Amino acid sequence: SAQLNDLAVAAGLKYFGTALGEGTINSDSQYAAILNDKREFGQLVPENGQKWDSTEPSRGQFNYNQGDITANQAKRNGQGLRCHTMVWYSQLPNWVSSGSWTKATLTSVMETHINNVMGHYKGQCYAWDVVNEAISDDGQWRNSVFLRTFSTDYLPLSFNLAKKADPNTKLYYNDYNLEYNQAKTDRAVELVKIVQAAGAPIDGVGFQGHLIVGSTPSRANLATTLKRFTALGVEVAYTELDIRHASLPASSSAQVTQGNDFANVVGSCVDVAGCVGVTVWGFTDKHSWVPGTFPGEGDALIYDSNYRKKAAWTSISSVL
């Protein structure tokens, strides 16, 4: 029977993908079996293995053991790869976040990092999240060592450095809560314009899609929001989709609502020319970052903790 990536491709998307949890893949064979099925997941993204604290924990000491887990699985299974992430305030080692930098010295640190990591994966990544989460939920620029050192000039700088390191990957800005089309979304539109006005390359905007059951915007409103970005000449994608129940256990009607919410998100991507694909941030409720980050919330994914397909899976399949 048809699986989600096959259905997504038939519906005109490039892929339906998932994040790979590096700690899970070798310890849970049921997890591995589903993840390795390219009919279900045509693309993988490392959940943590390519982040700065994983790839360059101390200055100049590069480590690809974790990041290569996903890259190697994708290669072996004939799946695509999204790559995540370069310039981000979080999971950033202390030597970077607490360093006292001038523009020149931090530029050199960024250039070395980007050249090494993007160079290591050169030619393998469909897209890279070059800058992640540069905007706060209230729409202000997010405070970080990058903003403090460069103001917003670090945005075009990051994209220019990324282009030099891997000229053939798509270069993305990636953030959450863009789906609500409020102040944060306005600022992300401005971000794309800032990068473009500086003459730097930007190819895409990733909507992370960490959403809440019953509070997810409608399919039409989501499509309207995606089109604000495609109107600027960039592609869009849902890059980290999960839709959590705000309280547990979820009733059967809440499960139906969750399914409708997933269908609205995936349907909005199908509706928008220039929305290239959907990636879920894990696929089973057995292994998800949500309960650890949002205590009391969860069951945000498309298989339950016993690896049974949920209503959410079926709802997604019905819009593909």
**Nearest distance in Å: CB 239, ligand XIL:** 8
Q: State the Cα–Cα distance between residues 66 and 244, nearest whole angstrom.
A: 27
Tokens found for residue 172: 């993305």
**Nearest distance in Å: CB 273, ligand XIL:** 26
Nearer to ligand XIL, 49 or 267 (CB): 49
Q: Please list the residues that pair with 28 across neighbouring strands.
A: none
Nearer to ligand XIL, 208 or 268 (CB): 208
Tokens found for residue 288: 């998800």
Nearer to ligand XIL, 170 or 219 (CB): 170
Q: Please list the residues that pair with 206 across neighbouring strands.
A: 174, 237
Nearer to ligand XIL, 131 or 276 (CB): 131
Q: How far is CA 128 from CA 65, 122, 287, in A?
A: 19, 10, 24
In 3D space, the residue among 67, 71, 207 whose CA is nearest the CA of residue 132 turns out to be 207
Q: Which residue is nearest to ligand XIL (CB)?
A: 289
**Nearest distance in Å: CB 318, ligand XIL:** 27
Q: State the Cα–Cα distance between residues 8 and 297, nearest whole angstrom.
A: 28
**Nearest distance in Å: CB 253, ligand XIL:** 28
**Nearest distance in Å: CB 12, ligand XIL:** 26
Q: Please list the residues that pair with 237 across neighbouring strands.
A: 206
Catalytic residues, by residue number, are 133, 240
Interaction site with ligand XIL (CB under 6 A): 47-48, 132, 208, 240, 289
Nearer to ligand XIL, 18 or 260 (CB): 18
Tokens found for residue 287: 């292994």
In 3D space, the residue among 120, 113, 208, 226 whose CA is nearest the CA of residue 169 turns out to be 120
Are the CB atoms for 275 and 237 separated by under 8 Å? yes
What kind and span of H or E run contains 211? strand 210-212
Q: State the Cα–Cα distance between residues 109 and 59, nearest whole angstrom.
A: 8
